[in-house]
Amino acid sequence: MASWGVISMELKRFWQKQIPVLLLLLLLLLPMGSALAAGHHNFVDYDIKVTLSDDCNYLRGTERILWTNPGQTPVSEIYLHLYPNAFREGSSFLNESKRLRRGVHLSASGYGYMELSQVRAEGRILGWEFVQPDDGNEQDKTLVRVSLPRELALGETIAMDVEFVVKLPSVFARMGRHGSFVMAGQWFPKVAAYETAGVRGRPKDGWNVHQYHANTEFYANFASYRVTINVPRTHTVAATGELVEGPRVIGHERQYVFQAQKVHDFAWAADNNFRERQSLFSSATQPEVLIQLYLQPEHEYLVSHYVQAARATLQRLSQWLAPYPYSTLTIVCPRAGATGAGGMEYPTLVTGWDAAAHDPGIICRVLVHEIIHQYFYGLVATNEVGEAWLDEGFTSYLEDKIMADAFNQQLSTATEATSILAPEPLVQEGWKYSSNHAYQANAYLRGKLILHEIERLIGWEQMQTALQTYCNRYLYGHPCTADWQQVLAEVTGKSWSAFFDYYVYGAGMQDYGIDDVVTSGLHTILKLSGPREERELVLRLHYADGTSKELSWNPATSDEVALQHHVPLVSVELDPMPYQVLLDNNRSNNRYQVSMSNWLPLWLTQLLQLFMGLFGW
Ligand SMILES: [Zn+2]
C-alpha cells in the first residue's frame, strides 16, 4: 500500500492533468445550462413520416422524438397530447362544446380519434396510461403519461419511436377532413410543454400538462421538425416550414418532405384543387419572405386581397415589433363548408376564412389576425391554455391597429364592450370560464380593450416601445402576464400594479353611470358612479328649452356634481357619443331622463313667481 504522501502526490498530478479538461467541459456546459434554464433552447426534435389514405379518412404515421431534459430535475416520464381524441365519444372537448362550434354541429358519423399503436425507446416497449389532470373525466383520452425506461438527468436525451393512426374527424374544430380537403392540425402525438424553473415565474422544473378542452388552444416547447408526407397523387400539400424534398410521385402517391426549425408546432393541409400562387415580400425592416397561397378555385379572384393583407401585416409588424424570422408564410383557404378549419394559426402557416366567404373586408381581417398570431402565438409563444389573452388579446389589439392603418377600417371599439356580459379575470385556464362566450369576450375582447386603454393612457409611441421590448426580450421565451407588466413598468417608469389587479387579474370594467338626479327648483345634484380613475369625462345636459351644455367630471375627485340652471333639466348623458370610455359594458345607466315630478317644484316656483308678478305681490 502506498503512503498517504504518494497517494496525495498522485491525486495532485491526476487533478492537475484533469483540471483543464474539466474546466473546458464546465465552460461548454454553462451556456447550455443557462440557455436551457431560460427556456430558449430547442430541446425537442421530431422526425415524422405520415401517409394520408386514398379515401382521405386516415393518417398512418411513425415518429421519432428526441427529447432532452432541459432542467436540473431528473425526468422519468413524458406526457404526450393525443389531440384527435377530442373528437371521440365522451371526451371533455365534446362534453364542454356540446358538439357545437361556430354554428357547426358534429354528428356521431363525423367523430375521429387517435390510436397510439406503440411507443418504444432503447429497445423496449414503453408503458403508458391516459391521464385527466383537469376534470378526472376517464372518457377523455387526449393526454397520456409515458413511463421512460430510465431517469433522464440534465442534458440527457431519449429517443422514442411512436406509431400512430388518426381517423380524421369531419372538420368541426380546426382539424379534420371535408370532401377531399384535409386540415392536419394537432395531428401527431405531441410532447407536452415542459417548463424549467423561472419560465413564467415557475418555482421548479416540471410539466405543464392539460387535456384538450373546448375553450383552450395550445402551448408547447420550441422544436425542430422533419416531416415526410405522402398523399394520394391527386393532392397538393401546404405545410409549416420549407419544402426540402419533392414533391415526387412514388406509385400512386406524392411525397413531400418539409423542415422547420424553432417552431412549436407543425401543421399541413392537402387538397386536390388548390390554386397555388406565390409572392415575395421584403421591406426596409423585413428580410425576404415567400408568401405562398393555397386557395380554393372560388377565391382565385381574391388573390390580390390575400397578398395585400399578408404584405401590409408583415410590413407593420416587422417595423413595430421585430422582423418575421422565417423564410415562408403559407396561407391556406379551406373548402366551402370546412368553416371550422378556417381562421386558425400554426407556425408559418395560417388558414383564412373558408371559400364560402366573399366579403373581401372580412377575408382580409381574418388573415391579418392570423398573421399577427405568428408573433404572440408563434414567436413569443405565450401559454394559450392558461393566459389566452396574451395571445388573443394582443393579436386582436394589433388587428385593430393594422386594419385602421393599412385599410382605413375603424371598429367602434367603444361600443364593443357592451357585449362583455360576464367580465372574468384574464389569468385563468380557458376551460374555467363560465361559457365559450365568456372565454371569447374576455380573452379576445376585454383583453384587447385593456390594451387600447393602456395606449390611451401612455400614447402609441410608448405603447409601441413596450410591445417591441416585450417581443424582443421574450422571443422564443414563453413570457407570462407579469413579464408584460414588468416591461410596461420599465418603459413608462411607473407601477401598473393597481391597473393589472383591477383589469387583468381582476374582472374590472369601466361601468360609469348616473345613479340619481336630485332636482330642487333650480338646483340639481348629479350622483355618479364608476371606477375612481383620474380622467375627464363629459356630462352633456339637455334643458327644456332645447339648449344643451357640456361639463367635465373627474371621477377621481368626487361622485357628485352640483348644478344651477334657469330652465328645467330634461336629461343628462354621461360620456355621450363619440364614446371615450372603452370598457363601459353597461351603457343603459349612462343616460338619465329627469321625470316630470322632479320638475314640479320648479314649475311651482315659476308659477308662484308669475302670480306674484301679476298681482304685484
Ligand atoms: Zn386568434
Distance in Å, CA 365 to ligand 1 centroid: 11
Distance in Å, CA 92 to ligand 1 centroid: 22
Distance in Å, CA 578 to ligand 1 centroid: 28
Distance in Å, CA 369 to ligand 1 centroid: 6
Residue 562's Cβ-count burial label (10 Å; 0-12, 13-18, 19+) is: exposed
Whole-angstrom Cα distance, residue 452 to residue 480?
Answer: 19
**Strand pairing class (157-167; 113-121):** antiparallel
Distance in Å, CA 101 to ligand 1 centroid: 15
Distance in Å, CA 97 to ligand 1 centroid: 18
Distance in Å, CA 440 to ligand 1 centroid: 10
Distance in Å, CA 218 to ligand 1 centroid: 12
Whole-angstrom Cα distance, residue 427 to residue 510?
Answer: 19
Q: Give every residue of the chain whose pLDDT is below 50, as ranges.
A: 1-40, 605, 609, 612-617
Distance in Å, CA 80 to ligand 1 centroid: 24
Distance in Å, CA 472 to ligand 1 centroid: 21
Distance in Å, CA 370 to ligand 1 centroid: 6
Distance in Å, CA 430 to ligand 1 centroid: 14
The string of DSSP codes covering 369-423 is HHHHHIIIIIIS---TTT-THHHHHHHHHHHHHHHHHHH-----HHHHGGG--S-
Instruction: Cell numbers for 92, please give them.
Output: 371533455
Distance in Å, CA 373 to ligand 1 centroid: 7
Distance in Å, CA 230 to ligand 1 centroid: 30
Distance in Å, CA 189 to ligand 1 centroid: 24
Whole-angstrom Cα distance, residue 343 to residue 534?
Answer: 39
φ, ψ at 332 (rounded to 5°):
-115, 135
Distance in Å, CA 498 to ligand 1 centroid: 28
Whole-angstrom Cα distance, residue 314 to residue 374?
Answer: 10
Please say whether the structural domain 513-615 has been given the CATH code 2.60.40. yes
Of the candidates 376, 330, 371, 346, the one whose C-alpha atom is nearest the C-alpha of residue 475 is 376
Distance in Å, CA 138 to ligand 1 centroid: 30
Residue 611's Cβ-count burial label (10 Å; 0-12, 13-18, 19+) is: exposed
Distance in Å, CA 222 to ligand 1 centroid: 20
Distance in Å, CA 103 to ligand 1 centroid: 18
Instruction: Cell numbers for 190, please give them.
Output: 405531441
Distance in Å, CA 392 to ligand 1 centroid: 5
164 in the Ramachandran plot: left (φ > 0), alpha (ψ -120 to 50) or beta? beta
Q: In whole angstroms, how far apart are CA 316 and each of 313, 400, 617?
A: 5, 12, 76
Of the candidates 149, 159, 189, 190, the one whose C-alpha atom is nearest the C-alpha of residue 66 is 159
Distance in Å, CA 163 to ligand 1 centroid: 32
191: helix, strand or coil: strand
Q: In whole angstroms, how far apart are CA 121 and each of 49, 60, 326?
A: 18, 20, 33
Tell me which DSSP letter residue 594 carries. Answer: P
- Looking from the CA of 82 toward its CB, the CA atoms found within 13 Å total 30
Task: Locate the domains of the chain by residue range.
Answer: 42-272, 279-509, 513-615
**Strand pairing class (104-105; 253-263):** unpaired
Distance in Å, CA 194 to ligand 1 centroid: 24
Distance in Å, CA 26 to ligand 1 centroid: 44
**CB-based contact 293:273 (threshold 8 Å):** no
Distance in Å, CA 349 to ligand 1 centroid: 13
Distance in Å, CA 571 to ligand 1 centroid: 41
Distance in Å, CA 324 to ligand 1 centroid: 18
Distance in Å, CA 344 to ligand 1 centroid: 7
Distance in Å, CA 46 to ligand 1 centroid: 26
Distance in Å, CA 396 to ligand 1 centroid: 7
Distance in Å, CA 418 to ligand 1 centroid: 20
30: helix, strand or coil: helix
Distance in Å, CA 505 to ligand 1 centroid: 21
613 in the Ramachandran plot: left (φ > 0), alpha (ψ -120 to 50) or beta? alpha
Domain 279-509 matches domain 513-615 at the CATH topology level: no
Distance in Å, CA 340 to ligand 1 centroid: 13
Distance in Å, CA 512 to ligand 1 centroid: 30
Lookup result for grid cell 413524458? 78
Distance in Å, CA 455 to ligand 1 centroid: 20
Whole-angstrom Cα distance, residue 388 to residue 196?
Answer: 20
Distance in Å, CA 377 to ligand 1 centroid: 9
**CB-based contact 266:240 (threshold 8 Å):** yes
**CB-based contact 222:257 (threshold 8 Å):** no
CATH topology of domain 42-272: Immunoglobulin-like (2.60.40)
The string of DSSP codes covering 147-164 is EEEEEE-TT-EEEEEEEE
Helices and strands (DSSP H and E) totals, the chain: 11, 32
pLDDT in tens, 177-203: 999 999 999 999 999 999 999 999 999
**CB-based contact 196:153 (threshold 8 Å):** no
Distance in Å, CA 372 to ligand 1 centroid: 9
Chain-centre distance for alpha carbon 48: 26
Whole-angstrom Cα distance, residue 364 to residue 9?
Answer: 77
**CB-based contact 574:539 (threshold 8 Å):** yes
493 in the Ramachandran plot: left (φ > 0), alpha (ψ -120 to 50) or beta? left
Q: Give the model's pLDDT for residue 615.
A: 43
What CATH number belongs to 279-509?
Answer: 1.10.390.10
Whole-angstrom Cα distance, residue 251 to residue 270?
Answer: 18
Enumerate residues 6+ apart whose C-beta is below 8 A from 313: 367, 368, 371, 372, 402, 406
Distance in Å, CA 574 to ligand 1 centroid: 33
Distance in Å, CA 147 to ligand 1 centroid: 35
